[in-house]
C-alpha cells in the first residue's frame, strides 16, 4: 500500500498517510512536514501570498555594504538568464526551507544560501567532493547523519540535507554567537574561523567578519549572499525579474513500502524523469529501495495520480534488486552467477576494469524468479562496494648483493621489474646502490612449477626444468 503523507525524515504512519491522501483528493494538503494535522486550502488567500515577500519579511542579519557586494551585484545583474534559471529551480524547494527556518526562528537569509552554494542544484558536485544543494563534504555529511552508500547519498536528499544544514548552522551560531561568523565557518570550517579569531584577539584587533584574515573564497562568501539578498529585496533595482512563487508547498511526500524502478515511478506520477530526479536526487541507482527510502517527493498535483496509478499497476514494480558477494570474485564470475552480461554488471555498478569485487560488497543485479523479495533494511542502509586490484599472485625473493654490490637499476633489470618498485620494496632511492652482502628483496609473479623434463635413460639423472625468468611485477599502490 502507498499513501500520501506530509514530508518527513521518518517513515510515515499509514493511518496518517491515508488521511492526507483524502485531503489531497479534496484539494487540501498538509503544510508542515512536522505538523501534519495542519492543512492548507490552496484557494485560501494565505496560500496565494508571494513567497518572496515572506522571505523579505524574515531578513534579520546585519547588512554588508562594501565593494565586494557591489561586485557581486553587478555580476548577477549581468546574467539575468542565470538568475532566472537558479531562482526557478530554487522555487521547488524554497517553501519547505522557509518553513523549516521559521520554525527554528532563524533569519530567512539562510534560505538564500543554496543560491551561493549550488545555484539551488540538488545534484551539484564540487571539485572538493561537496555534494547537494547545501554542499556537504562526505565527512561533515556523516557527522550530521546523512547516509552515503551504494544506493543513495542523503547529501542530495532535499529533506535530509536541509535538516542537516540548518542543524549545522545552528551549531555554528552557538559556537560564535554571530550569523556572519557562522556562515564563514560553514564555508571555511569552524577550526579555521576560530584560529582567525584567536589571531586577531592576540593582536588586539576586532573579530567581526570584515576584520578577519581569510581566503578569498570565504572573503567573497558573505558578499555574494548579500548581493542575492539585495536582489531578492529589490529585483527591479537590478533590472531583474524573480519568478512568481506562491506561499504553499511545491511538493508532498508519498510513502513507499515496495521497491520501485525510478523510471516507472516517474511515469506513474506523470512526470518527466528529470523533474522526478530534481525532487528525489539522492538515488544512486535506477531503483528506489523502500527499506532505505520510505518516501518520495512529488508535486502535489502529481501525488494523487501516483497513488491511483500504482494501485492499478499490474506486474513487478522493480526490475532490479541487491546481491551481496559471498566471497572476493572477478566481475566475470560475478556476472555469470547473477545471470547478466559482464559489461552491464560493470557499468551499472561502476566497476572499473582490472578490479576484483571484495566479499561483502553489494551489487545491483536484475530481479528474477529466484529473487522477488524486496531488499532488506540492513542491506539498503549498509550497502558498500569494496574493490581491489586484480593482480597476479606474487612471490617474495630474498638474496644478498654480490661481492661488488648491486645497484637498484641492475636488480630491476635482472628481475624485469621497475627501479621504482625495487626502491620501494627495499626502502631506498631509485638511484641507490646495495652494499656487498646487503639483503635485497624483490617481488615476482608466482608462476606455477614447471613439469619435470623427461630425458633419455642414458643421459644422466632426471632434472627439473629451470623456471622461466621473472616477468614484470605489478604491485598494488598503497
Crossing angle of helices 179-188 and 216-233, rounded to 10°: 130
Question: Considering Cα of 107, then 174, then 132, then 290, what sign does the dihedral take?
Answer: negative
| Inter-residue contact 384 to 362 (CB < 8 Å) | yes
Distances (CA, A) of 378 to 89, 149, 290: 34, 12, 12
Triad 75, 193, 129: Cα angle to 5°: 65
All three cell numbers of 99, joined, read 518553513
Count the alpha carbons within 13 Å of 17 in the hemisphere toward its beta carbon.
Answer: 23
Please list, in sequence order, all residues whose beta carbon lies within 8 angstroms of the beta carbon of residue 219, skipping any fewer than 6 positions away: 68
Triad 286, 278, 74: Cα angle to 5°: 145
Instruction: Indicate which residue of 73, 100, 109, 117 is catalytic.
Output: 117
Cell 557581486 belongs to 72
| Inter-residue contact 385 to 349 (CB < 8 Å) | yes
What is the C-alpha to C-alpha distance for residues 293 and 283, in angstroms, rounded to an integer?
9
Phi, psi of 199 (to 5 degrees): -60, -45
Beta-carbon neighbour count of residue 1 at 10 Å? 12
All three cell numbers of 446, joined, read 608466482
| Inter-residue contact 240 to 78 (CB < 8 Å) | no
Cell 499509514 belongs to 14
What is the C-alpha to C-alpha distance for residues 119 and 76, in angstroms, rounded to an integer?
12
Crossing angle of helices 67-77 and 80-90, rounded to 10°: 90
What is the C-alpha to C-alpha distance for residues 92 and 98, in angstroms, rounded to an integer?
12
| Inter-residue contact 410 to 432 (CB < 8 Å) | no
What is the C-alpha to C-alpha distance for residues 87 and 1, in angstroms, rounded to an integer?
36
| Inter-residue contact 366 to 397 (CB < 8 Å) | no
Phi, psi of 172 (to 5 degrees): -65, -40
Cell 646495495 belongs to 434
Beta-carbon neighbour count of residue 191 at 10 Å? 9
Is 88 one of the annotated active-site residues of the chain? no
Q: How far is CA 43 from the centre of its chain?
A: 38
Beta-carbon neighbour count of residue 376 at 10 Å? 13
- Residues found in the chain: 478
For the annotated catalytic residues, the residue numbers are 117
Amino acid at each position: 500500500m502507498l499513501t500520501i503523507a506530509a514530508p518527513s525524515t521518518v517513515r510515515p504512519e499509514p493511518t496518517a498517510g491515508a488521511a492526507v491522501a483524502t485531503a489531497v483528493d479534496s484539494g487540501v494538503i498538509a503544510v508542515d512536514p512536522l505538523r501534519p494535522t495542519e492543512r492548507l486550502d490552496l484557494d485560501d488567500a494565505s496560500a496565494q501570498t508571494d513567497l518572496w515577500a515572506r522571505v523579505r519579511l524574515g531578513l534579520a542579519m546585519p547588512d554588508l555594504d562594501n565593494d565586494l557586494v557591489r561586485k557581486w551585484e553587478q555580476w548577477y545583474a549581468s546574467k539575468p538568464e542565470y538568475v532566472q534559471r537558479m531562482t526557478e529551480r530554487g522555487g521547488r524547494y524554497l517553501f519547505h526551507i522557509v518553513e523549516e527556518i521559521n520554525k527554528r526562528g532563524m533569519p530567512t537569509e539562510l534560505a538564500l544560501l543554496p543560491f551561493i552554494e549550488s545555484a539551488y542544484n540538488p545534484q551539484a558536485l564540487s571539485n572538493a567532493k561537496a555534494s547537494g544543494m547545501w554542499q556537504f563534504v562526505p565527512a561533515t555529511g556523516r557527522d550530521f547523519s546523512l547516509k552515503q552508500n551504494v544506493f543513495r547519498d542523503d547529501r542530495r536528499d532535499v529533506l535530509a540535507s536541509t535538516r542537516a544544514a540548518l542543524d549545522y548552522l545552528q551549531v555554528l551560531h552557538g559556537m560564535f554567537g554571530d550569523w556572519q561568523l557562522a556562515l564563514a565557518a560553514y564555508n571555511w570550517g569552524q577550526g579555521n574561523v576560530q584560529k582567525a579569531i584567536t589571531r586577531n584577539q592576540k593582536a588586539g584587533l576586532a573579530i567581526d567578519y570584515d576584520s578577519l584574515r581569510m581566503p578569498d573564497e570565504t572573503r567573497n562568501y558573505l558578499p555574494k549572499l548579500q548581493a542575492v539578498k539585495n536582489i531578492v529585496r529589490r529585483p527591479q533595482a537590478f533590472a531583474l525579474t524573480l519568478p512568481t512563487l506562491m506561499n504553499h508547498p511545491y511538493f508532498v511526500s508519498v510513502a513507499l513500502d515496495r521497491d520501485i524502478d525510478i523510471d516507472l515511478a516517474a511515469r506513474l506520477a506523470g512526470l518527466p524523469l528529470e523533474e522526478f530526479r530534481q525532487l528525489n536526487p539522492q538515488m544512486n541507482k535506477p531503483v528506489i529501495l523502500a527499506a532505505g527510502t520510505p518516501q518520495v517527493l512529488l508535486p502535489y498535483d502529481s501525488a494523487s495520480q501516483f497513488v491511483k496509478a500504482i494501485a492499478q499497476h499490474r506486474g513487478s514494480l522493480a526490475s532490479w534488486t541487491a546481491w551481496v558477494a559471498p566471497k572476493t570474485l572477478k566481475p566475470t564470475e560475478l556476472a555469470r552467477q547473477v545471470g547478466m552480461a559482464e559489461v552491464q554488471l560493470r557499468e551499472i555498478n561502476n566497476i572499473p576494469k582490472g578490479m576484483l569485487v571484495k566479499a561483502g560488497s553489494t551489487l545491483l543485479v536484475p530481479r528474477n524468479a529466484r529473487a522477488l523479495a524486496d531488499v532488506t533494511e540492513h542491506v539498503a542502509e549498509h550497502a558498500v562496494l569494496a574493490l581491489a586490484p586484480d593482480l597476479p599472485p606474487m612471490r617474495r625473493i630474498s638474496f644478498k648483493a654480490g661481492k661488488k654490490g648491486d645497484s637498484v637499476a641492475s636488480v630491476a633489470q635482472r628481475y624485469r621489474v621497475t627501479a621504482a618498485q625495487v626502491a620501494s620494496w627495499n626502502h631506498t632511492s631509485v638511484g641507490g646502490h646495495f652494499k656487498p652482502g646487503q639483503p635485497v628483496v624483490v617481488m615476482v609473479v608466482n608462476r606455477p612449477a614447471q613439469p619435470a623434463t623427461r630425458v633419455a635413460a642414458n643421459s644422466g639423472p632426471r632434472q627439473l626444468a629451470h623456471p622461466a625468468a621473472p616477468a614484470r611485477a605489478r604491485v598494488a599502490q598503497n
